[in-house]
Chains A and B, each alone.
Chain A
């Protein structure tokens, strides 16, 4: 099994950008606002072939798509390492340790048992075997190679994301037959093979296979099945379905016209929602909600259910704005339209009937854009208080792709944590912090925008005062000053790094590879087109998945990278 390792130059490049940010308040690392002409870098763009571990969500979605949403797949994957702002990039360097494999096997056994179960009418449980297995054995207590071959061939093709070679299929049918004989149960025999499929490295790992690109002599591209898988895991957050695999089988995905047809079909599919949610959940670092807890005495409304709903609220808002309304990506940071649930009602202090309902914050509300959602405010704060620094840092790193260096290890927080401290507001505390030149360098690039969110406490609840002192929500972002959170929202919305950062993240997420310095012309080009199309997210997805960068693959040698970086 081969794992690609990120190129070593990357860390140095990022650190350089970060330090630049410290010295010039964030420095505009991305400056593209208008479309550039198609550069050679675009036509010749490619990404390295990857070998990625499927995520828990992708596993669940795949099981759901193949066997039905009532099949529970409680597979637990070890947390991935966030790399270049995305967990998805960590999947390229992840493996499955033995302990995790045991858990996966248990989950696989449960899935297999559900797939072949006969239901229980008394309990209202339907028979899955009747709907999922397209044939019946002549004798349910004996092997039936023909029926097994039909089912395993069909299922294996979807799980492995390509047709099973005849020899492999025959081997599986034989294994199912042996188990059926031993257990005197045809379906138990099938279950044993399904369980094996579900923990197969070929299923769990998304392996890019390549072939010579006949349109570009000397270059290589993903083969049809690998392109289908890359497309599907990107756009649907799940394995490709029968239609996409058929397009790979027929060679349709090897033609520009065929790729366009399939991509348009996938973009129009309801399954796109899973893909959009999967990407933004990753980009917004919402995995922090898996472990997020707040001080219950300080924030009694911030229950576990409320935090779960907060994550869901923002994902719903994003999907509704970008896909349903086909809105401008930048407007996510100024939109007042969102969704509300009963768990969130006490935090936002609004009445909310059962379920999720559309909700518009009033025009004079301080809630403007997703930065003022509880999800962002609570996840980038301390358990019992707000944090201008954490919020500013998250804004820089997650949304503007501007890394902020870690604090030095010897920071003296005693003055800030002193309960008798004279500092009443976060602004007072931050001002004290800025007196220390060691701290000031980086706090200057995080705190001025974080302070604009100080009208929201650590739970994301609105407050006009802190310890009896009126909160001053003024701030600045890269030279633009504002008097309140609405000004921050406008500044973020119009920040040139906002769309280019999204382009970088989407490109990285889709290909599984970090965007390198030599990819900047490509990012600039894509960002320009993104702007020309009114910052419509689906147009960006379409442009990326149909670009050579998505289906052409090249393993760049270190020398090539150095040469490219020098240009």
Chain B
């Protein structure tokens, strides 16, 4: 890639931009890119967990196996024991099982009011907001693997996000006249191809890196969304999205319907929520595919039991034929890190024009002082 025509192209782009509307918080070229550097299924937890899980946490595959097949000297064929339990995961049913699944009893949940209503099935947000929809939390809230800080799914989903490149989810904000208040911005999602840069002390991600968009295979991850920024918080209109996900290096896609963001955005990154209706079958299949039984055992995630709970808790996208809900309201805690998003399919000069980051402008302005 040649950067030599940077100055003229970038200067022209800057001059052409309607900078008159922009305030001092506007990013250069009215554009700023972010990469997802932290993504956790939002599970509201109290210190001892008793409020949300008064009956304790759920048992996992190891405990269920022991209950079903007690070590009493009986000889049992593998097909009727281990393989049977494996099959129960791959061919889940909604028939009753001899275990009680502990749903979260919390009144409080992180998330957004997705349906605009506040009914009995809804939660209250940590800040007191009513009508929070997060049925996935109701299912996962008492599953050890999804609880911070050491649940295996909680840890490994994000560890993969940092160490792998498949699940590189980008957000490019354009038409940004202010990072504080702007009633009309455009958010475009992409899949990126590059690694994340860690800070020198190893704690946290470094802003200012670069991500090249996957234009060859990443088409399904592209979504153009309208949004606004109020008091520094970006919110977006509901949009169906597919986003890349990987656990233990197993690449998958997640499907979220009517996805929306509520993220505090800064020049160096952002934190907040991504919420929407997670497709039930997609979530279950991808979770099953990504984590084998021994991983599920680490986090006491008994997927056949989880499936039954998911089906009962589903609250969105009813099947037009059966009327059964096919998705669950859900939320993800998200951390964004600022990056330069490079469009390889654009003329080189435009990509180079992205050099006009806030810092770059400062550097060059300083040179002219």
Q: Which of A148-156, A157-165, A225-233, A356-364 contacts B (4 or more CB under 8 A)?
A: A356-364
| Per-position binary interface string of chain A over residues 357-377, scored 1 when its CB falls under 8 Å from any chain B CB and 0 otherwise | 111101111100000000000
- In the bound complex, residues from chain A placing their C-beta under 8 Å from that of B369 are 464, 470
Q: In the complex, identify which listed stretch (B61-69, B127-135, B203-211) lies at the interface while the others stay far away.
A: B203-211
Closest residue on chain A to residue B352 by CB atoms: A351
Interchain CA distance A301-B207 in the complex, whole Å: 8
A296, B200: Cβ atoms closer than 8 Å: yes
| A301 in complex: contacting residue of B6, B200, B341, CB < 8 Å | B200
Known: A345-B209, A349-B360, A351-B354. A358 touches B194 (CB 8 A): no
Do A354 and B4 have beta carbons less than 8 Å apart? no
The reply to whether A362 and B365 contact each other, CB–CB distance below 8 Å, is no
Asked if A455 is an interface residue, CB under 8 A from chain B, the answer is yes
B321 at the interface (CB under 8 A from A): no
Chain A interface category by residue count: 35 or more
Q: How far is the CB of A378 from chain B (nearest CB, A)?
A: 12
Check B76 for interface membership: any CB of A closer than 8 A: no
* Best-surrounded residue of A304, A343, A354, A362 (most CB of chain B within 10 A): A362
Which residues of A in the span 279-312 have a Cβ within 8 Å of any Cβ on B?
A: 294, 296-297, 299-304, 306
Measured CB to CB, the closest approach of chain B to A326, in angstroms, equals 18
CA distance in complex: A540, B226 (Å): 62
Q: Given A301-B206, A354-B193, A464-B365, are A349 and B357 also a contact pair (CB < 8 Å)? A: yes
Q: Could you tell me if B3 and A359 are in contact, using CB atoms closer than 8 angstroms?
A: yes
Q: Which residue of A lies closest to B340 (CB)?
A: A351
Q: A213-252: contact bitstring with B at CB < 8 Å (1 yes, 0 no)?
A: 0000000000000000000000000000000000000000
Chain B: interface residue total (CB-CB under 8 A): 41
Known A346-B209, A350-B360, A464-B365; contact A357-B201, beta-carbon cutoff 8 A: no
Instruction: Indicate if the CB atoms of B1 and A297 lie closer than 8 Å.
Output: no
Q: Which residues of A contact B340 (CB under 8 A)?
A: 345, 350-352
Closest CB of chain A to B356's CB: distance in Å?
A: 10
Contact A346 B197 (CB under 8 A): yes
Contact A350 B364 (CB under 8 A): no
What's the minimum C-beta distance from B9 to chain A, rounded to whole angstroms? 11
B21 adjacent to chain A (CB < 8 Å): no
| CB <8 Å contact, A349 and B208 | yes
Q: Is the CB of B200 within 8 A of A462?
A: no
Chain A residues with CB under 8 A of B1: 353, 357-358
- Determine whether the beta carbon of B201 is less than 8 Å from that of A300: yes
Q: 1/0 per position for B341-369, CB-CB distance to A under 8 A? A: 11010000001101101011011111111
Task: Tell me if A353 and B206 are in contact (CB < 8 A).
Answer: no
- The answer to whether the Cβ of B285 comes within 8 Å of any Cβ in the partner chain is no
Residues of A within 8 A of B200 (CB): 294, 296, 299-304, 306
Cα–Cα, bound, A352→B3 (Å) = 10
Across the A-B interface, the 3 shortest Cβ-Cβ residue pairs: A351-B340, A346-B208, A464-B366
- Could you pull out 7 A-B pairs where Cβ atoms are within 8 angstroms? A301-B199, A306-B200, A349-B208, A349-B360, A353-B210, A354-B193, A358-B4
Which residues on A are within 8 Å of B, measured CB to CB?
A: 294, 296-297, 299-304, 306, 337, 340, 342-343, 345-346, 349-354, 357-360, 362-366, 455, 462-464, 470, 484
Beyond the given A297-B201, A360-B6, could you list 6 further A-B residue pairs with CB under 8 A, ordered by the A residue number? A345-B209, A346-B197, A346-B209, A360-B3, A365-B367, A484-B367
